[in-house]
Amino acid sequence: MELMEQGTAALVGSNSRKVRNGDQYYPYRQHSDFFYLTGINQEESLLLLFPDHIEAGKREILFLRRPSDKHVLWSGPGLSEEEACRLSGITNIRGREELQGVMKGLLGNTHTLYTSGDLPMVRIEELFPEVIPAALAPLTTSLRMVKEEEELEAIRRACTITGAAFRRVLGKLRPGMWEYEIEAEMIAEFIRRGASGHAFEPIVASGKNALTLHYTANNDRCREGDLVLMDFGAEVHNYAADCSRTVPVSGRFTDRQRQVYEAVTRIFKQAREMMRPGVLMSEFHQQVGELFQEEHIALGLYTLKEARESPEEMPLWKNYYMHGTSHSLGLDVHDPCDRNIPFRAGMVLTCEPAIYLGEEGFGIRVENDILISDHGPVDLMEEIPMEAGAIEEMIHSNR
C-alpha cells in the first residue's frame, strides 16, 4: 500500500478452479500475487486494499466464500474467519457476497483500481465506470523480486528436497530406463518429503531430446552411452526450486561428453561469482556468453578467426547457447522480474549455462539457484552433486 498513489485502491483475486473435463478439476494452485499478499490457498477469495481509509482496520479487507451445506459435505468447511486471520494477519474478513456493497461505499473518490488475479464476479467497468483499471503487477513485481526470510526458508526447503530427488534418481538410473521412470522417482521423493509436487513440468531429456529446450514428453528410452538432461524442482508452500543436471546413463561420461561437461561447469563457477549486487541481467548474460566463446574454441566448435568475423549482433557462441543464463525464482519458477533493476541482496536467481551440440546429438545444462547477498553469491544447491567425478561415483556406488 505504501507504493500506491493517493486516490487508488487494489483488488486481488484468487485463482479459480480450472475444469479438466466433466465434473473433474485440475489440481488447485493459488494465484501467486494473491498468495504473496495473504498466505491464503483457498479459491473464491478476494483482497481489497484501500490505503486512503481513515480507519486502519478498513484499509485491507479479505473476502471469503461462505460454503453451503452441500459444499461442506463434498469438499469440507474451508477456512474459518479465525484461520484466515491467523494465516493472513488481516482482521477485517467478510463474506464474498459483500464485496460489491463494500466497494461502492469505498471507491467514491478513487480514480484508479489496481487489479490482479481472477475477478469473475466483479463487473468493474459497469459498476465503477469512472474508475480507471490498472495492472497491479508493476507494484508486486518490485516487492516479489526481493525475498523475505520466510520465503527463503521455503525455497531452501524446496532445494533440499530437490537434491534428495536427484540422489534417488542416481540410485535408480540404468540403461534401458524410460524417461518417465526417472520422472516417477522424482515425484515419489517430492511427495515422501512433504513437497506439494513439481514446481513446473519437468524435463527428462535423454540423448538428442536434450536439444529441444523445453522437451517435456519424457517418453523415450535412456540408452547406453547417452546423456540424460534433467530440469526439475520441488514446490514447497507454493515456492519453487529449479535444478538442472546432465548425467551419463551408463554411469561414465565418454571422453567427449566429459570434455564438454567440464567446460559447462567451469562456466557455471565463473558465472556464479558474477552474481553480485549492482549487476544487470542483460550484462550478466553477455559476459557469460563471452566466456563461452573461449570454451567453444577449445572444444573445436569454431576458430578465433571465425568468431571475430561473425556479426556483432549474432556471435557464434549463440549457436550453441540459445537461452538466458538466469531468471528470477520464487512463487513462480519464472518469477516476475524487472530486468532494468540491477541484482540486489535478497533476490534469488538461477544460474544455468549450457552447451547444445546438434551435430553431435547431445546437450548439457547445469543449473543451481543463487541467493544474491552483500557478502557474495550464496548457492542454495551447493550440496547437490555437480562435478563429473562425483556424479559417476554416486551412480556406481548405488549399483
Query: Which residues lie closer than 8 Å to 35 by C-beta, 6 or more apart?
Result: 41, 238, 331
pLDDT at 13 > cutoff 80: yes
Q: What is the pTM of this model?
A: 0.94
User: For the segment 345-362, what is each residue's pLDDT rounded down to a tens digit?
Assistant: 999 999 999 999 999 999
Question: Phi/psi class of residue 57: alpha, beta or left (left: φ > 0; alpha: ψ in -120 to 50)?
Answer: alpha
Tens of pLDDT, residue by residue over 171-184, are 999 999 999 999 99
Share of the chain above pLDDT 90, in %: 84
56 has a pLDDT exceeding 90: no
Mean pLDDT along residues 307-336? 94
CA distance 152 to 64: 28
Report pLDDT for 130.
87
Q: What is the mean pLDDT of the chain?
A: 94
Domain spans, the chain: 8-144, 149-398
pLDDT reported for residue 121: 62
- Which whole number is the average pLDDT over 368-394? 97
Q: What is the pLDDT of residues 224-276, one digit of tens each?
A: 999 999 999 999 999 999 999 999 999 999 999 999 999 999 999 999 999 99
pLDDT tens digits, residue range 57-87?
789 999 998 887 788 788 888 899 999 999 9
In the CATH hierarchy, which fold is given to the domain comprising 149-398? Creatine Amidinohydrolase (3.90.230)
Question: Per-residue confidence at 109, pLDDT binned at 50, 70, 90?
Answer: confident
Closest C-alpha to 176, from 230, 251, 233: 251
pLDDT at residue 367, as a whole number: 98
Homologous superfamily assigned to 8-144 = Creatinase/prolidase N-terminal domain (3.40.350.10)
From the list 60, 18, 25, 37, the residue with the least C-alpha distance to 238 is: 37
Q: Which contacts (CB < 8 Å, 24+ apart) does range 281-286 have?
A: 281/324, 281/326, 281/337, 281/339, 281/343, 282/339, 284/325, 284/326, 284/343, 285/324, 285/325, 285/326
Report the DSSP beta bridge partners of residue 47: 12, 62
